């Protein structure tokens, strides 16, 4: 059988958009941040070099998290954030204004931006970071080049993202689907997608190659839990952050097609194998930090 002959099931919803919509931005802030993105943001803030009057750039900032933690870590910080979603930026601005109104001493400038290069001058920031970028090497290379450009000499750059070995449970179910229906191309796609995520060593090497030194990496294993197959696919973490990336990395059409969507098999398999328990997915949370070389 070929991929197109996978037996039809009910449609699995998965937004192909990388940019958060109006309602999605609120859902992202309410559910995705505390349930999942906090894995990365809390550790990243702990690794920030402390100091007063820091100028920080948050690339692909979405709704601004970890804005409150930044204010606590860096007194009198100036935060500049950019994201392609105007609704996410609107929410980030509203949150920052509320922090200032509540007595927080910091300045902020959140702006809508999807241009390359970013609209920031070279060497403008003491710190720059991004959280959970796409795993594709080309995307990482662009981000690293931009971080190297906008960070001042001896300034700090950080990237927080899932490392290789994350989401292996999902990969195993997709391999099972490919084996059952003889989907050779799907098997190849799964193997290639798993290799797209960097190891901790590779991420350090990439940061060094971009012009950073004193590179350090922290890796911690976390677990995401879901109540069944429907719970997995309807969870905002899956729907807004993980599934769009899964589809891109697997080179699957972003628009669900019930007659040939391997994720239909995944949903049914989760319900079958974890009918009396909770489906758990492994996340290798990696945060890498480096200082921009002086010359």
pLDDT tens sequence across 173-217: 999 999 999 999 999 999 999 999 999 999 999 999 999 999 999
pLDDT recorded at residue 12? 45
What one-character-per-residue DSSP string does 186-250 give?
HHHHHHHHHHHSPPHHHHHHHHHHTTEEEEEEEEEEEEEEESHHHHHHHSHIIIIIIHHHHHHHT
Mean per-residue pLDDT, 58-66: 97
| Separation between Cα atoms, residue 200 and residue 222, nearest integer Å | 16
Closest to 269 (Cα-Cα) out of 189, 191, 190, 176? 176
Mean pLDDT of 229-233: 96
pLDDT confidence of residue 38: 98
Q: Could you tell me the pLDDT band of residue 261, with boundaries at 50, 70 and 90? A: confident
According to DSSP, residue 3 is labeled: G
Can you read off the two tokens belonging to residue 237?
């973490």
pLDDT value of residue 10:
47
Averaged over 18-33, what is the pLDDT? 93
Q: In what order do the strands lie in the sheet with 212-226?
A: 107-112, 78-83, 55-59, 125-131, 151-162, 279-292, 212-226
Write out the two tokens for 199: 């190891």
The interaxial angle of helices 168-180 and 262-273, nearest 10 deg, is 110
The stretch 238-258 carries a mean pLDDT of: 77
Q: What is the pLDDT of residue 88?
A: 97
* Lowest mean pLDDT, pick from 56-60, 61-65, 77-81, 102-106: 102-106
In total, the chain counts a number of residues equal to 295
Report which secondary-structure segment, H or E, holds 128. strand 125-131
Largest pairwise CA distance in the chain: 63
The structure tokens 């802030």 sit at: 29
Question: Mean pLDDT across the chain, nearest whole number?
Answer: 91
**CB-based contact 49:155 (threshold 8 Å):** no
Q: What is the 8-class DSSP label of residue 119?
A: S
pLDDT at position 6: 53
User: What SS3 class is residue 79?
Assistant: strand
User: Mean pLDDT over residues 151-175, rounded?
Assistant: 97
Q: Helix %, strand %, coil % for the chain, to 5? A: 45, 20, 30
pLDDT at position 29 over 90: yes
Query: What is the average per-residue pLDDT within 65-92?
Result: 96
Average pLDDT over residues 283-288: 98
Q: What is the mean pLDDT of residues 259-274?
A: 90
**Alpha-carbon distances of 290 from 199, 217, 251, rounded to whole Å:** 16, 9, 32
Could you tell me the CA-to-CA distances from 236 to 30, 116, 230 in Å, in that order? Answer: 10, 29, 12
* Domain coordinates in residue numbering, the chain: 3-292
CA gap 249, 253 in Å, rounded: 11
pLDDT for residue 253: 57
Q: What is the CATH class of 3-292?
A: alpha beta
Residue 37 has pLDDT above 50, yes or no: yes
d(CA 49, CA 70): 11
Mean pLDDT over residues 244-266, rounded? 75
Average pLDDT over residues 87-114: 95
- Confidence (pLDDT) at 13: 41
User: Which residue's entry shows tokens 């699957």?
Assistant: 252
pLDDT digits (tens, 9 = 90+) for 108-122: 999 999 777 888 999
Using pLDDT thresholds of 50, 70 and 90, give the confidence band for residue 14.
Answer: very low
pLDDT computed for residue 57 by the predictor = 98
User: Contact at 8 Å (CB) between 126 and 154?
Assistant: no
């Amino acid at each position: 059988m070929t991929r197109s002959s996978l037996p039809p099931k009910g449609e699995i919803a998965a937004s192909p958009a990388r940019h958060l919509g109006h309602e999605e931005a609120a859902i992202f802030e309410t559910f995705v941040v505390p349930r999942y993105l906090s894995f990365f943001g809390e550790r990243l803030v702990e690794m920030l070099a402390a100091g007063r009057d820091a100028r920080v750039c948050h690339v692909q900032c979405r709704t601004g998290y970890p804005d409150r933690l930044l204010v606590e870590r860096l007194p009198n910080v100036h935060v500049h954030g950019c994201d392609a979603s105007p609704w996410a930026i609107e929410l980030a601005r509203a949150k920052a204004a509320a922090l200032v109104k509540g007595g927080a001493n910091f300045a902020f400038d959140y702006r809508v931006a999807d241009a390359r290069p970013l609209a920031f001058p070279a060497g403008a920031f003491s710190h720059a970071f991004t959280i959970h970028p796409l795993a594709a090497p080309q995307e990482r290379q662009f981000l690293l080049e931009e971080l190297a450009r906008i960070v001042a000499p001896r300034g700090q750059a950080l990237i927080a993202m899932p490392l290789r070995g994350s989401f292996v449970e999902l990969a195993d179910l997709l391999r099972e689907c490919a084996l059952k229906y003889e989907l050779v191309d799907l098997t190849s796609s799964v193997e290639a997608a798993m290799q797209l995520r960097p190891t901790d060593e590779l991420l350090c090497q990439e940061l060094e190659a971009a012009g950073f030194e004193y590179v350090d990496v922290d890796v911690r294993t976390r677990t995401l839990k879901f109540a069944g197959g429907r719970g997995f696919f309807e969870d905002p973490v899956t729907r807004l952050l993980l599934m769009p990336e899964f589809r891109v990395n697997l080179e699957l059409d972003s628009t669900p097609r019930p007659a040939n969507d391997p994720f239909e098999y995944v949903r049914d398999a989760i319900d079958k194998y974890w009918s009396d328990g909770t489906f758990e997915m492994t996340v290798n949370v990696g945060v890498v930090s480096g200082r921009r070389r002086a010359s």
